[in-house]
Amino acid sequence: MKRSTAASHDPASNGNSVTNFSLSRLFQLSATERQGVTTRRSLRLQQAYERLVAGGESPSVTVPINSPEPHASSDGNESLASSATPNISPPPVKVRRMQVGGNPAALNNRSVGDRLKEKQKDLQSHVTTTEGSSSTAAAAPSTSTTTVALNSSVTTRDKPLSDRQRNTVRVISQYLREIGMTNTVETLTDESGCREEDPLATQFREALEKSDWGTIVEIVDQLKDQIKESSYMTLRVTFLEELLKTHFSSGDLIAALAVLQKEYPRHPDFLDRRKHYGSMLAADADYLKSNFADSIVMTQKSDLLDLAEDLFPPTFLLPKGRLGNIIDQAFKTQVQTCRLHINKGFPAHGSNGILRDHKCNTLHFPNRTSQIISDHEAEVWVLKFSPNGQYLASTGKSGLIYIFKVLNDRKLAYYNRYMLSDELDGINCLSWSGDSNFIACGSAGNSHFGIFLIDIHRIVDVEFPVQDHIIRLGVEKFTVADFFPSPRQHRIVCADQKGNFTVHDVDHDLSDKGNDFEGLRVNGLYCLKDGRTVLASDTLFRIRSYNFENMTDLTLIEEAHPIVSFTLDSPEERCLITTKSGGIRMWCLETRTLIQTFFGSVHADIVVNACFGGANEEYIASGSEGNNRVMIWKRDEKYPVKYLDGHNGSINAIAWNPHFKNMLVSGSDDHTIRVWSSVPPGSTFVEPVPEILSRVDEDPRDSPVDCEPYLRHASVKY
């Protein structure tokens, strides 16, 4: 890359030193421009300066400006010719470094006098130059790097661009060209000395556009040394075949024959193909025309381009839109490392990771209590959202079941409640049916009261606990139950710790005719989406899968510690096990290996349930014994990313809303349920007051029997 000379400016500076001094100060470039980055401002400055210089100087001075440049792009464009020299405004006595004395081609076009003056300046500048780096003004040495001209050997550059820098410049110039700033591209190419693409590559692209296969084959031949033998052969053959096809389609059989004979490689691998094409020669001309004129036979240009991009040396062809791709990849990595990233997709605001690493603040993450519900006057042990995310069922030590309706991502409203039996120690197992209409619950401990099925939409009188509409399965049997997730059927699996383990179809028959497995003490159940398999955890530290249709069973996971509870994520790939003294562990169900153990929570004596949640189910929430905090882990990190404080008793149950990803509900020993949500931006946060939702005034479902006069809470407006 030849440079245009700056000799033109030297006479100017010599002639009108005073005026030019002040002028040059005016045109002094900013630091970045001095560093060689061309900006619009510097371009304009250059042009202004040029005009000034050209206007007041002798023609001999202007000649170098118009001298034909070896750089093709600056032909006939005066401003562009000088645009190759971004560092244009020297102070009068100091001389600019960059292009002086470096350009043998330009030398030919200047007068002897100019050349002499140039040499003089050269000597001066060599004395005054600092550290060998080219400088626009000695007062402010520029740090523009020197480049090794691609085709020229004479240079005063001291630091050639490294490969990495060069490739980056190429990508940047591609980006600039794609957004339409061609002037800048010219300047950039001139200064850095790196073309965006090899001229051969440009020729290649043009030839591909025009389907000029002959040229392409020549280009491929030129690159023969730079690519592997096999790639070379593949490319050559591909393009030769394209050439053949064009010949065939135009009926020019003689040319096709010539190609086959001379050009087609005689490698044994290609023998079959050669024969195939040779046989084509003997075919009917019209048949050939019709066959090959059909564009379906011709290979797609995009496929050819992809093939070329793969096989050519990597620096030859630049993939399209490379800078954009790189930025997108960087953003994706930032999103992955963002610890609290709870929104799917990219945020609409912000610099998308360009100016700063993307990092979600806690705005989208549940971080504040938005509601405290104290309807339960007893410890809350189980919380479960319905599959459609609209209802929350809660139960605990008192045997009362409360059902709340989800209003928005911050608030619940009372919906219904049930009282099962006075003799219960409490309810510790709750399961929603697939259509979100029924709940199955099982009693705690060793009092086997059976499984109660409740229709959540029926309103009952709480005075009479067990009524007709509550179906009861298995008197004196069953402590845990789970519905199959199918919304069409109501099949339920019930089990207990005395060896009973059956599946019932509630729609058809309630008697005990289901199949059962024997020899199991089941602690927890989970029905899979396929409608046939059930996972059960038992007292021998195992999780096994059972299929009631063909009565097969299989041990999936053998733990080293007693399993307190377990749950699966929605795609049923991972299993989260809360163990007694081994922490919370996550297993992969497919390979049956341990993926991750989550530290920070204590589980020794009481039953605490953990759950998956958040966008993509990437977060795990759990309570812990000993402290009253909700702990939230990111799925691939061992230590918690967030703690939620606020409860006054240890937390027994957690549920994450499947519909509103930023809503989390926790139930604890202090008789309350807390709803955690993300604080809306711009609002001041007010700590909510505990409310008893079932006693809100305008709720028509108020129980007519009030045992004691409770404080009437002010009606809640949503």
The set of residues, in sequence order, having a beta carbon less than 8 Å from that of 326 and lying 6+ positions away, is 171
User: Count of CB atoms within 10 A of residue 358's CB?
Assistant: 21
* Among residues 92, 102, 399, 426, the one that binds other proteins under rule CB under 8 A: 426
**549 touches other proteins (CB under 8 A):** no
* Among residues 255, 323, 363, 540, the one that binds other proteins under rule CB under 8 A: 540
**446 touches other proteins (CB under 8 A):** yes
The set of residues, in sequence order, having a beta carbon less than 8 Å from that of 93 and lying 6+ positions away, is 13, 17
Applying CB under 8 A, the span of 56-64, 113-121, 247-255, 513-521 interacting with other proteins comes to 513-521
Long-range pairs, 571-577, Cβ under 8 A, ≥24: 571/617, 572/528, 572/529, 574/612, 575/535, 575/543, 576/610, 576/611, 576/612, 576/620, 577/537, 577/543
- Residue closer to other proteins by CB (options 147, 650) is 650
Applying CB under 8 A, the span of 93-101, 535-543, 610-618, 682-690 interacting with other proteins comes to 535-543
Taking the CA atoms of 280, 282, 288 and 291 in sequence, report the sign of the dihedral they define.
negative
Applying CB under 8 A, the span of 281-289, 399-407, 518-526, 591-599 interacting with other proteins comes to 518-526
Instruction: Name the phi and psi angles at 604, rounded to 5.
Output: -130, -45
* Among residues 393, 608, 611, 679, the one that binds other proteins under rule CB under 8 A: 608
CA dist 69 and 108 (Å) reads 12
**428 touches other proteins (CB under 8 A):** yes
* Among residues 85, 129, 650, 677, the one that binds other proteins under rule CB under 8 A: 650
Place of tokens 């197992």: 429
**535 touches other proteins (CB under 8 A):** no
CA dist 388 and 433 (Å) reads 10
Cα angle value 560/565/567 (rounded, 5°): 105
Contact call for residues 568 and 526 (beta carbons, < 8 A): yes
Query: Which of positions 362-381 make contact with other proteins (CB under 8 A)?
Result: 379, 381
Binding residues for other proteins, rule CB under 8 A, total 36
- Residue closer to other proteins by CB (options 325, 447) is 447
**553 touches other proteins (CB under 8 A):** yes
Least distance in angstroms from the C-beta of 504 to other proteins: 18
Instruction: Name the phi and psi angles at 91, rounded to 5.
Output: -70, 155
**499 touches other proteins (CB under 8 A):** yes
Helix (H), strand (E) at residue 277: helix 271-281
CA dist 81 and 84 (Å) reads 6
* Among residues 163, 310, 377, 476, the one that binds other proteins under rule CB under 8 A: 476
**630 touches other proteins (CB under 8 A):** no
Binding mask 307-346 for other proteins (x = CB under 8 A): ----------------------------------------
- Residue closer to other proteins by CB (options 652, 657) is 652
**Alpha-carbon radius of gyration of the chain:** 40
Residue (of 7, 1, 190) closest to 108 by Cα position: 7
The β-bridge relationship of strands 368-373 and 690-691 is parallel
**467 touches other proteins (CB under 8 A):** no
- Residue closer to other proteins by CB (options 115, 542) is 542
Least distance in angstroms from the C-beta of 586 to other proteins: 20
| DSSP character at residue 261 | I
Cα angle value 633/639/643 (rounded, 5°): 55
- Residue closer to other proteins by CB (options 313, 445) is 445
3 state DSSP class of 242: helix
Least distance in angstroms from the C-beta of 393 to other proteins: 16
**556 touches other proteins (CB under 8 A):** no
**606 touches other proteins (CB under 8 A):** yes
Applying CB under 8 A, the span of 346-354, 453-461, 600-608, 698-706 interacting with other proteins comes to 600-608
* Among residues 520, 575, 631, 664, the one that binds other proteins under rule CB under 8 A: 520
Contact call for residues 78 and 66 (beta carbons, < 8 A): yes
**566 touches other proteins (CB under 8 A):** no
- Residue closer to other proteins by CB (options 327, 378) is 378
CA dist 523 and 536 (Å) reads 7
CA dist 348 and 502 (Å) reads 51
* Among residues 76, 180, 268, 519, the one that binds other proteins under rule CB under 8 A: 519
CA dist 155 and 99 (Å) reads 9
Which amino acid type is present at position 627?
Answer: N
* Among residues 221, 306, 377, 605, the one that binds other proteins under rule CB under 8 A: 605
- Residue closer to other proteins by CB (options 329, 446) is 446
3 state DSSP class of 399: coil
Least distance in angstroms from the C-beta of 533 to other proteins: 16
Taking the CA atoms of 592, 598, 603 and 607 in sequence, report the sign of the dihedral they define.
negative
Applying CB under 8 A, the span of 294-302, 316-324, 440-448, 506-514 interacting with other proteins comes to 440-448
- Residue closer to other proteins by CB (options 196, 669) is 669
CA dist 92 and 25 (Å) reads 10
CA dist 249 and 211 (Å) reads 13
- Residue closer to other proteins by CB (options 384, 448) is 448
Query: For the chain, first and last CA: distance in Å?
Result: 71
Applying CB under 8 A, the span of 43-51, 114-122, 222-230, 514-522 interacting with other proteins comes to 514-522
- Residue closer to other proteins by CB (options 241, 496) is 496
Least distance in angstroms from the C-beta of 688 to other proteins: 24
**652 touches other proteins (CB under 8 A):** yes
Least distance in angstroms from the C-beta of 523 to other proteins: 9
Least distance in angstroms from the C-beta of 672 to other proteins: 14
**63 touches other proteins (CB under 8 A):** no
Task: Enumerate binding residues for other proteins (CB under 8 A).
Answer: 379, 381, 397, 426, 428, 444-448, 476, 497-499, 517-521, 539-540, 542, 553, 555, 562, 564, 580, 605-608, 625, 649-650, 652, 669
